[in-house]
Structure 1
C-alpha cells in the first residue's frame, strides 16, 4: 500500500496520471488491503485475553471507522490549499506510520492450515464452515443485504452533494467526515458494552436505523440536515457491522479464524464494490436520492423478515449464547 500510494502521488503531482494507471493501482491497492485486513482481524484474538475479545474487536472497528473522520479532516485543508497532490502524499505518510507499527507486532496466529492442501482448498474450508453453521450463515446473509443496500454509498455521495446541496469536493469531504464521526462514536460506545442482552437488542435497532438514515440523507436540502443524516448513517452502519464482526469472531474456532475473516471480507468487499459500481451508473438515470431511499426501505423490510429466522431472533432477544461463544475457546 505504501509503494502503491507513493506511485499514485508522484503520477498525480507530475501530471502524468492516466485512467489505466488508476485502474491498475486500484487493483493493487484492493488486493493488498484484502490480504492485510483479514490477517489483522485474525491476530486480534491472539493479542488480548478471551474475556476482552468483544471489546478489542469493537475498538479495532472504531479505529477503522475513525479513519473516515480523520482522513477527510486531514486532507481537506490540503485540497483547499496545495490541491489533491498534497493529499496523496499525506496518505503515503499514513501508510508509512502503519508499516512501522506493523513491524512492532511480535505475536503469531494460532491458526491451523493443512500444508498438504492448496490455497483454494484451505479457503474453501472457511466457506463450508460459514455456510454449514446456522447462525454464521444467517449473519453472512444479513451482511450481504446490509452492505449492498445501505453501505454502498461512496459513489453516490458526490452526486447527492451536487444534486441536493449544490456542493462538490469540499462538500463531499464534509459529508464523509460526518459519516466518520458517527461511525467512530458508535464503535467506541459499543466497545464498552458488556451485556449480551444489550448487544443483541442494539444489533436489531442499529439495523432498523441503517435503513432510516439513508432516507434522511436523501431528502436533505440543507447542509446541516445532510450532516445529521450522514452522521446517523455512519453511526448505524458502523454499529451494525461492528456487532456482526464481533459476533462472528466470538463464535468461531481459532484454527480457521483467518480463513473465516477472509470469507467475511470477500462478502463485504465484493458486495460493496459491485453495488457501488451499479449505484454510480444507476444514479445517472434515477438520481442518487431515490437509490438511498429504496435501499433503506428494502433493508428495513429485510430486518423485519429476519425475525422469522430462529438464529437471528435469538440473537436479537438475548445476544450470543454461552454455547456459541464456547466454540472460540
Structure 2
C-alpha cells in the first residue's frame, strides 16, 4: 500500500517546482542524494579516464561499462520481486553501504598504484549487482515518500539532483584527475555515501507490512503478464529500450571523443559531461515547474525523436564549444524522455506491481545502455571510427522510435 507522510512544510513557503519537498522524508532523501550522486559522477568520469589511460582501448571502455550492466540484465527482474516484498528503506541502506565499500576499495587500489584493469572490471560487475537492486527500489520508493499527487514533481526533482550532480561531479573529477590522478575522486565518492545513509536512517516511516507470500517466479510472471497486456506501458518501454540501447552508446565512449576526436584531455571530458548534465538539469527543472501543465505525450515524442538527431550531429563536430552545446541539448532531450516515461509508467501501474514493472525499466535504462556501449566500442575498434559507429547506432534508434509511435499513436494522448 502506498503511504505518504504528512507534509510538515506549508505549500505557501515553497515554490511550485519544489512542492515535493514539503514531505520531510523526501527532503532528507533529496539532500543525501544530491551529495552522494555528485560523488558517483566523479567516480564515473575518473574510472573512464583511468581505463583509457591503462589500456588505450575503446573496446575496453565498452567492456567495463558492460561489466556493470551484466548483473542488471541478469538480476533486475528478480530484484523487482524482492522490492515488492521487503522494506524499501532497509534495502536502500544495504545497497548504499555496499556501494560505499566498493568505492573505498577502488580508491585504495588506485592511490596505492596497484590498480589493474581486471580490478576495475570486477568492481564494476559488483556495483552492477548492487544497482540491480538499488535502482528499482529507488524508483518505487519515491511514491511512498510523496504520494501520487506529487509524484511527477518528485521524479523531476530526482532528475534535477541527478543532473546537478552530473554537472558538478565530472567538472571536479576532470580537474582532480588532471592535477593529482583518479584515486582522490574515488575516495571522495566513498565519503559522499555517508550523507545518503544518514538521510535514510533519519526518515520516519510507518512499520512495513510484508505482502502475502508467494513464489517469486509467479510474482515475476505476473509483472511480465501485466506489461504484455497493457499496451501503453509496453510501448513506453520499447521506446525507452530503443534510446537506451542505440542512442546512449556515446556515454562510455566520451573519453575517446574528448581525447581523439576533439583533441582535449581530462578537463575536456569533464566539460562534455558537465554540459550534458546542464541540459539535463534544465529539463528536470522545467518538468518540476510545468509538468502538470504540459502535454506529456506530445512532449515525450518530440524529445525522443530529437535525441538521436542531436547525437548524429554531435559525431560530426570537431569543435569543443559546439560539441558541448549539442550534447547539452541532447541532455535536455534525454532526461525529458526518460523522466516522462518514468512518470507515465508509474501513473499507469498498480501499486502492487510497481517494483516488478520498474525493474524492467531499470533493466532497459541501466542494463541495455552499457551493452550498446560495448557493441559500439568493439565495432569502433574494428572499423577505426568511433563517430561513425555512434552515428549509425543513433540512426537505428531513431528509426525504431518512429515505428513505435506509428504503431502506438495513443502515446501522444497520455
Q: State the TM-score, normalized to the length of structure 1.
A: 0.89
Alignment partner of 2:235 out of 138, 142, 156: 138
Bigger drift between 291-300 and 221-230 goes to 291-300
Q: How many residues align?
A: 315
SS in 1 for 2:150: helix
Cα shift readout 1:119-169 (whole Å, capped 9, x = no counterpart)? x43233222222221111111111111101111222221222233211232
Unaligned ranges ≥5, structure 2: 1-98
CA 1:46 to 1:15, structure 2 compared with 1: closer, same or farther past 3 Å?
A: same
Cα offset, 1:11, TM superposition: 0.8
Counterparts in 2 of 1:108-257, with a 5 A limit?
113-118=211-216, 120-195=217-292, 198-257=295-354
Does the 8 Å CA contact 1:112/1:256 hold for their aligned counterparts? no
CA 1:196 to 1:135, structure 2 compared with 1: closer, same or farther past 3 Å?
A: farther
Counterparts in 2 of 1:1-329, with a 5 A limit?
1-107=99-205, 113-118=211-216, 120-195=217-292, 198-286=295-383, 287-310=385-408, 313-316=409-412, 318-319=413-414
Q: State the TM-score, normalized to the length of structure 2.
A: 0.72
SS in 2 for 1:167: coil
CA 1:197 to 1:185, structure 2 compared with 1: closer, same or farther past 3 Å?
A: closer
| Counterparts of 2:219 and 2:275, CA distance in 1 | 40
| Counterparts of 1:192 and 1:250, CA distance in 2 | 18
Cα shift readout 1:30-79 (whole Å, capped 9, x = no counterpart)? 11122112111111111113222111112112222332212112323322
Cα offset, 1:179, TM superposition: 0.9
CA 1:111 to 1:294, structure 2 compared with 1: closer, same or farther past 3 Å?
A: farther
Q: CA RMSD in A?
A: 2.0
Cα offset, 1:296, TM superposition: 2.5
| Counterparts of 2:375 and 2:263, CA distance in 1 | 23
SS in 2 for 1:16: coil
| Counterparts of 1:234 and 1:112, CA distance in 2 | 39
Cα offset, 1:214, TM superposition: 0.4
Does the 8 Å CA contact 1:152/1:275 hold for their aligned counterparts? yes
Unaligned ranges ≥5, structure 1: 320-329
| Counterparts of 1:172 and 1:108, CA distance in 2 | 44
CA 1:206 to 1:174, structure 2 compared with 1: closer, same or farther past 3 Å?
A: same
| Counterparts of 1:274 and 1:121, CA distance in 2 | 28
